[in-house]
C-alpha cells in the first residue's frame, strides 16, 4: 500500500467515504454486511500487517470511525454478540500461526536430533527473546520521558546478556565440529509471531524485531483475544446470574401461587363442611 493509499484510508475512517460529495455509503448502518466488524472492535487484521511480510492486503470491508461510534452507543442498549464472533475469528488466525510455529520447531528438532543440544539452544533463544523485549521496553519508556524506569530496565538487560553469553558458550562447546562455522545461520522461530530469529542475533536486531510492526501486530491480536475472552466471560456470567434470578423469582411466584390455591381449597372445604352441618 502506497503512502497515498494509506492517507486516503485514514481520511475515509475519519471523515467517511462520502467526504468528497458522493452518497454511496451515506445510508450505511454498522450492522450492514459491507462494514468491517473487526474494525468496529478496533482490531482489523489487515491494518496490522500493512507493508510487512504478512501483509494481507487492503481490507475489502468499510472502515468508518463514525459507524464504530454508532456501534459503541448501540451496545449500551443491546448485545449484538460481535465480541463472540470476532473472538473466534482472531483465535482461528492465531491457531493457524501457532501451527506454523510448531512445524518450524519440529523441523529444527529433526535436523538436530540431539535433545541435549536442543535444550541448550532453547535456553539461548529464550534469553535472546527476553533481551530483545526488554531493550524494546526500555526504548519505549525513554521515548515517554521515563528515564529512570528506562535505565532500570537496561540494568536488567545487562544481567540477561551475561546469562546469554554463558548459555551461548555452553551451546557452542557442544556443537559438532562440522557445523561450528555455521552458528550464525542457526535459527529459531519467534514464539509470538513465527519469524525466524538467529540464535546469535545482535541485541539491536532483536529489539528491532520485538518493536517491529509484524511482531507487535501479533502481540496486539493476542492482547485483544484476552480482552475479548474477559468480555465474553463477563457477559456469560451476567446471563447466568439473570437466568438464576428469573428462576428464583419464578420459584417464589409459584410458591405464592401454590399457597394461594391451598388457602382457597381450605376455604372451600370449610364452606362445604359448614353447609353439610346445616343440612
pLDDT in tens, 77-96: 999 999 999 999 999 999 99
Q: Mark whether 24 and 121 lie in a shared domain.
A: no
Q: Mark whether 104 and 213 lie in a shared domain.
A: yes
Is 12 a residue whose pLDDT tops 60? Answer: no
Q: What domain range is 176 assigned to? A: 100-217
Is 59 a residue whose pLDDT tops 90? Answer: yes
Q: Mark whether 76 and 107 lie in a shared domain.
A: no
pLDDT the model gives residue 121:
80
Q: pLDDT category, 112, cuts 50, 70, 90? A: low
Q: pLDDT category, 30, cuts 50, 70, 90? A: very high
Q: Is residue 36 part of a domain?
A: yes
pLDDT the model gives residue 68:
94
Q: Is residue 249 part of a domain?
A: no
pLDDT the model gives residue 120:
82
Q: Crossing angle, helix 213-278 and helix 82-112, to 10 degrees?
A: 130
Nearest C-alpha neighbor of 182 from the set 197, 199, 196, 167: 199
State how far the alpha carbon of 74 is from the alpha carbons of 70, 77, 81, 146, 158, in Å.
Answer: 6, 6, 12, 39, 51
Q: pLDDT category, 69, cuts 50, 70, 90? A: very high
Nearest C-alpha neighbor of 88 from the set 228, 231, 193: 228
Q: Mark whether 69 and 111 lie in a shared domain.
A: no
Domain end marker among 198, 217, 236: 217
Lookup: cell for 36: 468491517
Which percentage of the chain shows pLDDT scores above 70?
82
pLDDT the model gives residue 2:
54
Q: Mark whether 194 and 106 lie in a shared domain.
A: yes
Q: Is residue 180 part of a domain?
A: yes
By the 8 A CB rule, do 152 and 142 touch?
A: no
Whole-structure pTM value: 0.66
What's the average model confidence in pLDDT over 259-268?
A: 74
pLDDT the model gives residue 115:
74
What's the average model confidence in pLDDT over 59-79?
A: 93
pLDDT the model gives residue 64:
92
pLDDT the model gives residue 180:
46
Domain end marker among 217, 233, 253: 217
By the 8 A CB rule, do 153 and 137 touch?
A: yes
Q: What is the pLDDT of residues 134-177, one digit of tens each?
A: 888 888 888 888 989 989 988 998 998 889 888 888 877 776 65
Q: Mark whether 29 and 112 lie in a shared domain.
A: no
Helix (H, G, I), strand (E, B) or coil at 225: helix
The lowest-confidence range among 95-109, 124-138, 253-267 is: 253-267
Q: Is residue 86 part of a domain?
A: no
Q: Is residue 54 part of a domain?
A: yes
Q: Mark whether 59 and 146 lie in a shared domain.
A: no
What's the average model confidence in pLDDT over 94-101?
A: 93
Q: Mark whether 76 and 120 lie in a shared domain.
A: no
Q: Mark whether 106 and 182 lie in a shared domain.
A: yes
Q: Mark whether 176 and 123 lie in a shared domain.
A: yes
Which percentage of the chain shows pLDDT scores above 90?
32
Q: Is residue 20 part of a domain?
A: yes
What's the average model confidence in pLDDT over 4-23?
A: 53
Is 178 a residue whose pLDDT tops 70? Answer: no
Q: Name 216's Cβ contacts closer than 8 Å, sequence gap at least 6.
A: none
Is 133 a residue whose pLDDT tops 50? Answer: yes
Q: Is residue 18 part of a domain?
A: yes
Question: How many CB atoms sit inside 10 A of residue 173's CB?
Answer: 9
Is 65 a residue whose pLDDT tops 50? Answer: yes
Q: Is residue 42 part of a domain?
A: yes
What's the average model confidence in pLDDT over 84-113?
A: 86
Q: Mark whether 34 and 123 lie in a shared domain.
A: no
Cα separation, 141 vs 119, in Å, equals 33
Query: What per-residue string of b and e applies to 63-78 under the rule 16 or more CB within 10 Å gives b?
Result: bbbebbebbeeeeeee
Look at the chain and report how many structural domains it folds into: 2
Amino acid at each position: 500500500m502506497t503512502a497515498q493509499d494509506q492517507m486516503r484510508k485514514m481520511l475515509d475512517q475519519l471523515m467517511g467515504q462520502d467526504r468528497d460529495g458522493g452518497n454511496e455509503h451515506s445510508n450505511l448502518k454498522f450492522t450492514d454486511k459491507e462494514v468491517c466488524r473487526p474494525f468496529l472492535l478496533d482490531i482489523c487484521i489487515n491494518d496490522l500487517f500493512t507493508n510487512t511480510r504478512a501483509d494481507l492486503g487492503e481490507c475489502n470491508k468499510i472502515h468508518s470511525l463514525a459507524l464504530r461510534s454508532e456501534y459503541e452507543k448501540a451496545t449500551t442498549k443491546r448485545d449484538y454478540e460481535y465480541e463472540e464472533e470476532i473472538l473466534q475469528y482472531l483465535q482461528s488466525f492465531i491457531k493457524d500461526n501457532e501451527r506454523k510455529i510448531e512445524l518450524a520447531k519440529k523441523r529444527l528438532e529433526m535436523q538436530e536430533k540431539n535433545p541435549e543440544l536442543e535444550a541448550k539452544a532453547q535456553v539461548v533463544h529464550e534469553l535472546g527473546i527476553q533481551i530483545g523485549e526488554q531493550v524494546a521496553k526500555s526504548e519505549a519508556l525513554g521515548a515517554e520521558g521515563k528515564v529512570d524506569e528506562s535505565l532500570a530496565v537496561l540494568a536488567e538487560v545487562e544481567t540477561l546478556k551475561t546469562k546469554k553469553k554463558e548459555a551461548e558458550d555452553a551451546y557452542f562447546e557442544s556443537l559438532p565440529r562440522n557445523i561450528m562455522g555455521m552458528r550464525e545461520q542457526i535459527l529459531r522461530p519467534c514464539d509470538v509471531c513465527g519469524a525466524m530469529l538467529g540464535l546469535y542475533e545482535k541485541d539491536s536486531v532483536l529489539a528491532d524485531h520485538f518493536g517491529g510492526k509484524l511482531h507487535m501486530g501479533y502481540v496486539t491480536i493476542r492482547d485483544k483475544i484476552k480482552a475479548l475472552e474477559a468480555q465474553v466471560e463477563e457477559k456469560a456470567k451476567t446471563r447466568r446470574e439473570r437466568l438464576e434470578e428469573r428462576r428464583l423469582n419464578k420459584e417464589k411466584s409459584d410458591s405464592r401461587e401454590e399457597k394461594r390455591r391451598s388457602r382457597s381449597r381450605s376455604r372451600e372445604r370449610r364452606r362445604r363442611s359448614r353447609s353439610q352441618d346445616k343440612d
